[in-house]
Amino acid sequence: MEKIKVGMVGYKFMGKAHSHAYRDLPLFFPESLRPEMKVICGRNESEVAKAAAQFGWEESTTDWKNLLEREDIDLIDINAPSDVHKEIAIAAAHAGKHIFCEKPLALTLRDSKEMLEAAEAAGVKHMVGFNYRFAPAVLLAKKLVDEGRLGEIYHFRAFFLQDWLVDPNFPLAWRLQKEIAGSGSHGDLGAHLIDMAHYLVGDVAEVIGMNETFIKERPLPANMAGLSASSNADGEKGPVTVDDATLFLARFKNGALGSFEATRFASGHRSTNSFEINGSKGSVIFDFERMNELQVYFNDDKEDVQGFRRVVATDPAHAFSEAWWPPGHTIGYEHTFIHEMVELMDALREDRQPVPNFRDGVKCQQVLEAVDLSIEKRQWIQISELD
Ligand code: SOE
C-alpha cells in the first residue's frame, strides 16, 4: 500500500486528534493510503519531543521550515494557532507539499484567498479541518436533504455552546487574543456552523450579526495547556480582544432563513454543537453531544405516530459503518478526524481535491467577515460585497 509521509505543525489538542487519526486510519480503513508519521513540529523542544514519543512520530523538530526542505515529506498538516496558518500553508504550497489546515483557515478573508491561490498555483491538494461534516449522523442529514426527503428547506438554526470561559480567572489564552486567533467564538465555533450551513443548505446571501465580550480583561497566563490553563488570578491582567459570543441571522440564496449562535459563556454546555433543519416535508435535529444520533421527523408519517424519532446512524445504511462495529456500537469525536483523513487519503489517490478544501475555507471566511462588517455598520451585509 502506498504511503503518504506526513509532517505536522502543532502538537496540542488538534495535534493529538490528528495523530490519533493517522495512527488508527490503517487499522479501520486498510484499503486507504497509509499515513506515515514522519515529523511533528512545535515551539517547545521538550514538549514536542514528548508528544512525538507519546503519539508515535518518528522525529520532532522546532523548525517547521525544515519539513518543507525534506524530500521524504508529502503532506504538511497545520494545526498550530491561526496566526501561522497562512505563512506555513503558502510556504508548503511553494515547496510542492499537499496541505491539511485546521479551521478557521486564516485570520482574514484576504489571507485565506492568498492561501487558496498559492495552493492552486502549486497544483497541490488542500483540505480544511471541518471535521463535524464527517459524523455519520451529519452525513445522514446531508443524504436526506440532497435526496429531497425534507423537501424545500425553510430554516437552518445552529448553535455551538461552550462554557470554558465563564470563570473570570481563566487566563488570557491565545484564543482570546485577536492577533493570534483572529476572533473568539466567531471564528472558532461559528466557523463550524457556517461550514455546516454551506454543506447542508447552500450559499448565504446576506447576514446581520451582534457580538459581546462579557469579560474585558483576564489574568496573563502563567502557563497554558490547551483550553484548561493555570493563571495567577491576582497577577497582571491583559485585555480580551475577541468576542466571547457572536450571534447572527442569515438569508440563504435559496430563500431559507438561518440563525447562528456561538458562545463560550453558555454555563452547563461543555460543547453543544447542534443544528436543526426544517423543510416542507420534514425536519432533522443533530446534537454533537449525542453525535451518533439524528432526530428525524417526516410530515407523511401516519397521524397517530407523527413525531421526531431517533435514528442511531451505525447501521450498514450509514456512512463509514462498514469500517467500525456492528449496528448500535457507537463511535466518538476522534473518529470524525479519522473520517476526514480517509477523505484526504482518497483524494490523494484519486488525484482530486478533497472536500472540504481551501475553497470552502474561503467561503467560510467570507461569511465570518461579512458578519463582522454587519456588526460594525449595524446593517445587513450582502456576502457579494466581500467578493
Ligand atoms: C475550542 O473551542 C474547540 O476545540 C474548537 O477549536 C474545535 O474546533 C471544536 O471542535 C471543539 O472546541
**Residue holding cell 447572527?**
248
Q: What is the rounded distance in angstroms from the CA atom of residue 188 to the CA atom of residue 242? A: 11
pLDDT of residue 52: 98
DSSP-based helix, strand, coil % in the chain, nearest 5: 40, 25, 35
Alpha-carbon distances, residue 99 vs 119, 196, 302 (angstroms): 8, 21, 50
Q: Which atom of ligand 1 is nearest to the CA of 103?
A: 8
- Domain of 10, CATH number, reads 3.40.50.720
- Measured between alpha carbons, how far is 259 from 247 in angstroms, rounded to an integer? 8
Q: Does a structural domain hold residue 383?
A: no
pLDDT class of 48 with cuts at 50, 70, 90: very high
Confidence (pLDDT) at 10 = 98
Cell numbers 467570507 label which residue? Answer: 366
DSSP 255-276: S-EEEEEEES--TT-SSEEEEE
Q: Is 108 domain-assigned? A: yes
Gap between the Cα atoms of 34 and 174, Å rounded: 33
> Residue 293 belongs to what domain range?
133-353+365-376
309-342: burial string, b at 16+ Cβ within 10 Å, e else? eebbbbeeebbbbebbeeeeeebeeebbbbbbbb
386 within a domain of the structure (yes/no): no
The pLDDT tens digits for 188-220 are 999 999 999 999 999 999 999 999 999 999 999
**Mean per-residue pLDDT of the chain:** 96
Q: Does the pLDDT value for residue 66 go beyond 60?
A: yes
22 plus 150 within the same structural domain: no
Pocket test for ligand 1, best of 188, 265, 335, 364 (most atoms within 8 A of CB): 188
Three-state secondary structure call for residue 185: helix
Q: Residue 211 is which amino acid?
A: N
Distance of alpha carbon 209 from the chain centroid: 21
- pLDDT tier at 12 (50, 70, 90 boundaries)? very high
65 SS3 class: helix
* Residue 122 identity (one-letter amino acid): A
One domain, residues 107 and 168: no
52 and 182 in a single domain? The answer is no
Please return the burial class of 233, using the count of CB atoms within 10 Å of its CB with bins 0-12, 13-18 and 19+.
middle
Q: Are residues 90 and 202 in the same domain?
A: no
Calculate mean pLDDT across residues 67-92.
97
13 and 121 in a common domain:
yes
Q: Are residues 23 and 142 in the same domain?
A: no
Is 235 inside a domain boundary? yes
Averaged pLDDT, 331-342: 98
| 387 domain residue, yes or no | no
Q: Of 100, 131, 162, at which residue does a domain stop?
A: 131
Could you give the percent of the chain with pLDDT greater than 90? 95
32 has a pLDDT exceeding 70: yes
CATH number at residue 278: 3.30.360.10
Phi, psi (rounded to 5 degrees) for 323:
-85, -20
Same structural domain, 147 and 116: no
Residues with CB under 6 A from ligand 1: 13, 162, 188-189, 227, 271
Q: Which of 131, 163, 188 is the last residue of a domain?
A: 131
Residues 283 and 185 occupy one common structural domain: yes
Query: What is the predicted pLDDT for the residue at 235?
Result: 77
Strands 237-239 and 217-219: antiparallel
Output the CA 334–ligand 1 centroid distance in Å: 12
Atom number, ligand 1, closest to the C-alpha of residue 333: 10
Please write the tens of the pLDDT for every residue from 268-279. 999 999 999 999
Q: Based on the domain organization, do 140 and 196 belong to the same domain?
A: yes
Instruction: Tell me what pLDDT residue 231 has.
Output: 59
Q: Are 77 and 98 in contact (CB under 8 A)?
A: no
Residue 295 belongs to a domain: yes
* Range 169-176 average pLDDT: 95
| pLDDT of residue 92 exceeding 70 | yes
Say yes or no: 184 and 310 in one domain: yes
- The DSSP output letter for 367 is H
Query: The C-alpha cell of 337 is what?
Result: 478526524
Which residue has the least CA distance to atom 1 on ligand 1?
188
Report how far ligand 1's centroid is from the alpha carbon of 383 (Å): 25
Question: Over the stretch 344-373, which tens digit does the pLDDT of each residue have?
Answer: 999 999 999 999 999 999 999 999 999 999
Domain contains 123:
yes
pLDDT given at position 225: 47
Count CB-CB contacts under 10 A for residue 194.
32
Which pLDDT score, from 0 to 100, does residue 222 have? 76
The pLDDT tens digits for 146-161 are: 999 999 999 999 999 9
Ligand 1 midpoint to CA 302 (Å): 40
Give the pLDDT mean for 250-270. 98
Indicate whether 215 and 298 sit together in one domain: yes
Q: How many domains does the chain have?
A: 2
* Domain presence at residue 382: no
Q: Is the bond into 171 cis (omega within 30 degrees of 0)? A: no
Q: Which of 83, 98, 131 is the last residue of a domain?
A: 131
Q: Where are the beta strands (DSSP E) in 175-299?
A: 204-212, 217-219, 221-225, 228-231, 237-239, 245-252, 257-263, 272-279, 282-287, 293-298
Residues 163 and 107 in one domain: no
Q: What's the CA-to-centroid distance between 303 and ligand 1, angstroms?
A: 41
CA of 352 relative to ligand 1 center, distance in Å: 28
